[in-house]
Structures are given as structure tokens and as C-alpha cells.
Structure 1
């Protein structure tokens, strides 16, 4: 049984259904064949044609010996009608899936220089294996990061970024506690490293960064003052300094263990109780359903979230 479920009546806007009817009838010159292609009975399609004529104020198609032939008005409207139909069909179509094997695009990820050492090499190798035509760009985390994520200039931010709040999603990747990096040949530090050693030895410190603020606040709270002989703007060169001097570096565990694998360094738990933190990936709500962004987040989750027994995803408060 045919059902004419068009309840719009006369309107200034044409539905997808009526536009498709116009397109098919123009091509087939037959109400019967048009009805077959639309999966409707001929009476229903004839009723829709009547509505289409009423809305456009023209007969549009006239019965002849050669079938239903278009009027000049129909000839005039067929191109814009087909363009409108194509646009509406694109709007109604599901989003295209991201195919990493054929994609050719660049992902921009905001991260700290510590992540350049701990995360980026593994991420790059994995992306190259899955998506050979995709490239990566590492950008700094700074006061412009939120705007970059919102505008699409950046795809993800990975790190400790507590100011990314309203409008952002976040996922815990892995927890971080604190360790001390020590020269493996340190003249005064052997198999153990305690609070007395920490206070007595000279230190190399990293300036700036949210993690460093946690460290400094904890040291102040426990009334531990470091004797800092060298301050560096980032982690680049830190392993070379520690492995060639007797200076102590207090760093998040992931960066400490990564640096120790490539140098003659020893890693000790920090004797000062410093609050741990979590490394997260952040993205803007505008791109939460974007197939390419979802793929990149999935890659990062698969590579790094396994380090955490409780990986959670959620929208930041204030969203």
C-alpha cells in the first residue's frame, strides 16, 4: 500500500523528495519509471507531482506521444534543482571515514619538549606505519594553545594543560610521579639516594612549566631548598649535563627513565613527596566527532593510555 507521508503541504521550500521527483521525471520522461525508481506507487508520485506544480506555479511536465516532456520553466530549473538536491544529499550523508592508508594531511600536536623525547618518536613511527602519507608537526604548549585547538590550527594538545577548560575534551593517558636523575658514576651517590643526599648535592633545574610549579610548591611546603647551579629552559641537553657532572635533576618519571636509557644515568625515586600528575590529551568539542581527529586520538590512546590502569575520557568542567 502506498503512503503519501508528505505533510508539508504548500511551502516556499522544496523537500528532498520533491527535488528527487523533479530530477527523475526530467530524466525518464515517465511517471511510471519515476515511481519505480523512488520505490513508490504511481498514484503517490502523481500526487507529489501535483504539489510540485503548485509550489512552482508551472505544469513543469506535459504529456506527449514521447512521454512527459519538460516545459521551458522545467528546463530553466533543472540545473539549480539538481545542485540543490546534491547539496541536501551531502548534508544528509554520514561523515566520511578517515582512511589512514590513503590520507594526505598534516596533524599539528601541541606538546612540551619533554614529550618530544618521551612520546614523539614512538608516535611518529606508529603513524608512519599506519598512514604513510600523513605528516606530523610538533608545536609548543603556550597561551595560544586553546585558540589553536578551537580554530583547528592544532589538532591535539598532550601534556599537563590545566587551563584547557570550557569547550574541551580530555583523556588521561598515563600518570606521572617524580624521580631524580643522577650520574651513574656520581662520586657520592651509590646504590641509595635519600633526602639527606638530595639536600646536600647541587642541582640542575628546569625553568617554567606547570609541572615545575608542582615541584617548586612541594619543595617549599616541605621546606626543602635546592642548591641550583644550573637552570635550563627545557629538557634538551639535560641528559648530557647530568651524565657529565655531579648535578642532580628532578624530573617526571617518564622523561627520567627515557633519558636514562640513552645515557649512563641512574634513576631514583624522589625522596621529597611531590604530588603526581596525569598526562592527558586534549581536543576541542568542535572536532570531537571529526573522523581524522578521532583517528589521531585513538592512535595516542593505543600507544600511551596503556601505561595507565584508569584511562578516562570526558569533557572538562565549565563546558
Structure 2
């Protein structure tokens, strides 16, 4: 096996790659912008270094030897590695960047965070494409492989190698119609228990709400179950139902639909919305820029933490 020190220089590897495709010294010289004598000289050096003719003349062109057939795949892998190395971003210019970023967002964040993120990107990074996926059981693997750049939300199950940074805390509120016939300026616990409710199954924080209900021996009368927040504001506005939600999505819906906000009449554990990324992409210039952008837009002030020491 050839050692790294014995690898041919990149121009010879490039020659090998092009000649393998063209089977012609003339066309190889044209593609590489060199004279035929130069290509012949380089090919002689490559043959000497690899100890094989590599290509032999035939009526149909320069045919690769069995050794050349065996070497073409590793040659191209080396060239691709060199290409990635030379293309490594030491900086990121959002104004001129042409790149796709992929975010995993909670269902609520599609309403509360995404419009503001997109507005910022359209203004400051017009060449950026943004793809959005849901937070689910595949999120950790997607962060590790680079399929996803950031996950933003309450994702307490993420494991090793994941950095996290707090953006803002969340407590809980209740929404009712301003025309609710039995709820005025306050929402007592006995009224909360007596009235009908909307249950929204989406959201990673729902387990905290369910745990609080169990802990306080509260059994709600569920009249409507929704898979997400779409349409919830209109439902609350037009009915006498109550919705119990994290503050950010709750206040967003209240502002949009003119709903009344009440303090939740029993304690529910608070949580933090964070941005998460894998340690492999901690130094990636584009990822750093995206993280700093979300930090600028949403953070209340906290430092980066990780569940494993940074190397």
C-alpha cells in the first residue's frame, strides 16, 4: 500500500482522472490547458511513481491497465478530499452566499419563529434557501450527519455530541374568547376544571402540561383535540373553550385573533427553547453565522453549553 508521502502530486492525479475519462492525450491536454508534450511528461512521471504503464495505446484510444482500473476510485476519492479542503469556508458572507440551510422546528415555532427568521434572511442573505423539518425521533441523527444544521425548540432527549444554547424561557398561559360567557377578568381553578378545553397534541412541552395536570389531580373536559396549532386561534375566538399553551405561541395567537390571556391557575413546569447543533459542525462558518443570527433575533441572554467537553 502506498504511503501518504508517496502520493503523486495533485496535478498528476488530475491528469490520471481526466485521461481515464477521455482515453486521449490530445483531449486531456485541451481540458487541462496544457500542451501535449507537457501531458506526456506528466504521464511519464506518474507511470514511474506508480510502477505501471497505466494506459496503453490501442486503436480505440489510451486503454487503462488493470492497475489503472484499480486505482481510479481511490484517485477520485483523494481529489474530492482535496477539493473539499480547498473549498473550506474560513468566512461566511451572508450577502453573497448561495447555500441551503435546514432547520428542525417545533410546530409552534412555524408560527412564532419562522416568519421572523425568514424576513431576516430575505433582507440580509437573499441567496439563502431555508428548508424546515419537524422535530422528531430522527432529529439527533440528522444533526450528526449534517442533514440538519440546527434544531430549535424544547428537545430534552438529544444525546452526546450536541451543543445547546438557550434562546428564551417559556411558562404557560390560558387563552379564552373575549366574549366567553362565564370567564371575566380572572380564571379560577374551579372554573378551569368546569369548562371545556382544546387539547393540542403537538409540541414537545405537552408532557410537562400532562404531568402538571396529574400532579394537581386535575382532569380536563376535552371537547376538541387538534394535531397542531393551525386553526386554534379561530376556534378559541368562536367558542367557549380554553386552550392551555406555552406563552410564546399563546401570546402570538392572542395578538392575531384578539383573545384574552389568563395566568394558568395551577403551576406547570417551565422550559427553555434552545438551539442545538452537532459538535462536528461547531466550527463551520455558515453554521456559526446561522446560530449567531438566531441568537440576535431571539436570545434573552445565556451562554453555550454542551453535554461533552469541547476539544
**Same fold (TM > 0.5):** yes
CA contact (8 A) 2:251 2:261 kept: yes
Structure 2 residue matching 1:181: 3-state secondary structure: strand
User: Among residues 109, 131, 137, which one is paired with 1:137 in the alignment?
Assistant: 131
**Residue of structure 1 equivalent to 2:34:** none
2:236 aligned with 1:242: yes
Matched positions, count:
255
Unaligned runs of 5+ in 1: 1-10, 20-71
CA distance in 2, matches of 1:89, 1:301: 32
2:306 aligned with 1:312: no
CA contact (8 A) 1:166 1:317 kept: yes
**Cα 1:122/1:90, change in 2 over 3 Å:** closer
Structure 1 residue matching 2:120: 3-state secondary structure: helix
Question: How much does 1:92 deviate?
Answer: 8.6
Question: How much does 1:76 deviate?
Answer: 4.5
**Residue of structure 2 equivalent to 1:22:** none
Unaligned runs of 5+ in 2: 10-39, 50-77
CA distance in 1, matches of 2:42, 2:132: 55
**Residue of structure 2 equivalent to 1:259:** 253
Q: TM-score, normalised by structure 1?
A: 0.71
**Residue of structure 2 equivalent to 1:13:** 5
CA contact (8 A) 2:171 2:270 kept: yes
CA contact (8 A) 1:118 1:255 kept: yes
Alignment of 1:188-199 (within 5 A): 188-199=182-193
**Cα 1:214/1:88, change in 2 over 3 Å:** closer
CA distance in 1, matches of 2:98, 2:276: 23
**Cα 1:298/1:12, change in 2 over 3 Å:** closer
**Residue of structure 2 equivalent to 1:62:** none
CA contact (8 A) 1:205 1:230 kept: yes
2:276 aligned with 1:282: yes
CA contact (8 A) 1:101 1:133 kept: yes
CA contact (8 A) 1:166 1:318 kept: no
**Residue of structure 2 equivalent to 1:271:** 265
2:193 aligned with 1:202: no
CA distance in 2, matches of 1:176, 1:288: 26
Question: How much does 1:260 deviate?
Answer: 0.9
**Cα 1:93/1:141, change in 2 over 3 Å:** closer
Segments of 4+ in structure 1 off by > 3 A? 72-78, 87-95
CA distance in 2, matches of 1:314, 1:105: 27
Deviations 1:267-300 (A, max 9, x none): 1111110010000111111111101111111110
**Cα 1:188/1:77, change in 2 over 3 Å:** same
Q: TM-score, normalised by structure 2?
A: 0.73
RMSD of aligned Cα (Å): 3.3
CA contact (8 A) 2:108 2:203 kept: no
Question: How much does 1:244 deviate?
Answer: 0.7
CA contact (8 A) 2:107 2:202 kept: no
Deviations 1:55-91 (A, max 9, x none): xxxxxxxxxxxxxxxxx9889549x99xx9xx88985
CA contact (8 A) 2:175 2:236 kept: yes
**Residue of structure 1 equivalent to 2:224:** 230
**Cα 1:91/1:179, change in 2 over 3 Å:** same
| Larger Rg belongs to | 1
CA distance in 2, matches of 1:134, 1:118: 20
CA distance in 2, matches of 1:94, 1:144: 28
**Residue of structure 2 equivalent to 1:117:** 111
